[in-house]
Each structure stands twice: as C-alpha cells, then as structure tokens.
Amino acid sequence: MSVSLKGYHSREGGIGVTFDDIYLIDGKRTPFGKFTGSLSTVSPTDLGIHASKAALEASAIDGGEVDQVVVANIGQANSDCFFLPRHIALYAGTPLSTPAVMVQRICGSGVEVLGQAAEQIAIGKAQVVLGVGCETMSRYPLVSYSARQGFPLGRPNYVDLLWEALNDTAAVPMGRTADNLAEKYTLSREEVDAYAFRSQNRYAAAKAAGFFDGEITPMPSRGQFELDSLIPRKFKCANRDGLAEDEHPRQTTLEQLAKLRPVFSKDGPTTAGNASGIVDGAAAALVASGDYVRAHGLKPIGKIRGFASAGVEPHLMGIGPVPAIRSLTKALGMQVSDIDRYEINEAFSAQVLSCARELGLDEDTLNVNGGAVALGHPLGVTGIRLAHTVLRTLHRDDKQFGVASACIGGGQGIAMVVERC
C-alpha cells in the first residue's frame, strides 16, 4: 500500500499527523435548517443517513465498499442516540460487517472525523471510510440528572442542554471568550459587525452564483429508510415542502447589526448578529486510499495532507485554530502564506478576526463564501462542511491548498490541510 503517515507532538504546537496518498473523494450535506425550523422534527440519525446516501452517490462508491464508518454527533437529540453511528452505517447501506464509531471533539468533531478516517486508512485498517457529522440542535433536550434520586418538594432540577452546551463550566460562556479576544486584539464593535455583514453578503453572492448547489442534497418533506429485516425508519420535516436551501442566512444592514445588544458582557462586542447561528443538519464525505482510487478509476476532489489539534487557554478558546494551523503547516514544510483559501469556522466574528490578525491572514483568502455567521454552526457537522467547501472553492478559484479549521469549546483548536486534485 502506497499510503504513509508521520505523526508529531509538542507542548507548544499540539499534536498532528501528515499523510501521503489519502484522498477525500466527495461529499454532500443537507441544507442547514434554522433553530426550531424545517429540520427540527428530524432526528440526527436520519439526517446523517440522508447525507451519507448522497455522499456515496456523489463519490461513485457503493456502500458495500465501505470498511469503516466514523460519525460525530454532540447533542443527544433522540431516544435512540446510543445507536446513532451504527444505525447510520446500516441504513446508509454499508455492510453488516462494517463497524461504526462515534468521535467527539465538540466544534472540531467534523475535522476529527475526516482525520481519523485518514489515520485508519494510513495504518491499514481500511481502504474506504465514510465520515459523517449530524446534529439536530433544535431537539437538544431539557434534562434532569437527578430525577431518579428524587426532588425536594417544589424544586425540580432541570437544565437546558442547548444552553449548557454554550457554557464552559471551568471558565466562561463561549461568547465571553470572543469578547475576551476582542479586548486582547483591540477589535471594535464596528469591525466585528462589519465582518458579520461581510459573511452574510459573501454567502448571498456565493448562493446566487450557484456555488452551494454542488454541496447540498435537498431534504424531502418526508421519507423512509429500509433495510432487509430491520425496522424501517421514518422521518418528517416540519416544513411540508421539505428543505432545499439553507434556512438561517438573512439579509441585514450595518445599521440593524449595530442596534443589537451585547449578549455575554456589558461592552460586548458579541451579539446575536455577529455570532454563528444555531441550526440543524448533517454532512458526509468519503475518504479513500490512493490505491483504491486508482484501482477504481475515481476522481477525488482533493488530498488530505494532514491534521492537527492543540490546546489553548479556555478563557481565550477562540484562538485555538492558530497553534493548530501553525504547527501543521510547519510539519508540511509550508508557510501560513502558502495556503490559498482558509475556512476558519465563524463561531463568533470577533474570534475569527482575532485568528486572522494573529496569523496575519489576507482576509480575501478567508471564508470567501461566507461562513457560520450566515449559514449556522451545527456542532458535529461543521468540520466536514469546512473541508468539503474549501476543496470545492479551490476548484472554482483554480487554487491549490486549503485549510479547514475550528476553535473548540474548553480551549482547543483543530486544523486540516487539503490539496486540490
């Protein structure tokens, strides 16, 4: 087998691995539905199955060829959530003998999925891996962790799991980390709002040009997944017409953004208008070895050159992409300036701007089709979308190298370098 890998680790730069001869064949994602919107009635499992079937078709790979399935899902949003990876693998059409596993690196989980897929191939445990991310954030439950032990009279104890997902109990809420970065990098409210405005406008321009048509598989209003003797799975969208395009983006103005009040601290600058949207959706992609690609005459959209993760100060969580990107480009013998297109998740506008300022990025190379401020950030899905989107952007713009990166709650960052085929 021609695949090779080389791992590295350091206290300063985190951990990472570089690859040779591993490919991302293609992928698909559902549209991202707005909070409590069209996809809010669909379980993450069914969203994942739908995206997986579309990704297999786009990649021209039969499900029976898949050796492993790696899935990310952060919020347990359905009663059968413990079986989620296996159910996605089965109903997507992979063999009964193909194992499935869940990974969790919060906002970086989608990148982690693709990275672990590449690692499994590089060490000979697979030739083809299906990577999936799925999230129905609208269905994150209200939970009681002490109900079995009973409540004091009149004092039931429930928490909103969605709200808790936005709070690092060891430090500060996620949005406050963006405010902290804004203070450190002297970012004004006007600069942060201008970035959010640009994200919405860039998304609108890319959508009008038909860019997203190539990565979205529409979600029908209802459907059923069947497999031999297993119980059929049925789903139904809240919207009787289904969903064919992203539901969260909105037209806005700088004046409207300026009227929004800060959410996480008195002076902000983080508001609902310059933070990522809470959305529902799924994405999937096929990763394969060079031997498999050549033997089957496939036309992959890109190579996975490596991925890395690093820890940072929890109070400055959003700066996490910086050490991950720096260490990985160094391991590949590259400079940050050698990367043609960057997709850094827009968890918060202040966070992305801080990363761009620290790395010295030309913002004309950053999130050129808009980002999560416009279309939303389904936690376990985003990393796969970033990697697929940046590769498609490289093809459109006739460029060679791209980065998919995200900050991670609790104080981490993750990055992947890809190369256009």
Residues identified as active-site: 107, 407
Q: How far is CA 353 from the centre of its chain?
A: 19
Contact of 220 with 237, CB cutoff 8 Å: yes
Contact status, residue 291 vs residue 2, Cβ threshold 8 Å = yes
Under 8 Å between Cβ of 232 and 226: yes
Minimal CA–CA distance to 319: which of 416, 405, 413, 402? 413
Closest to 133 measured CA to CA, from 85, 76, 191: 85
Buried b (16+ CB within 10 A) or exposed e, 160-179: ebbeebbebeebbbbbbbbb
Nearest to 195, CA basis, from 344, 414, 312: 344
Question: What separation in angstroms does the CA of 251 have from each of 97, 204, 207, 211?
Answer: 48, 8, 13, 18
Q: Name every residue whose Cβ is closer than 8 Å to that of residue 179 and which is 6 or more positions away in sequence.
A: 262, 264, 265, 267, 268, 269, 270, 350
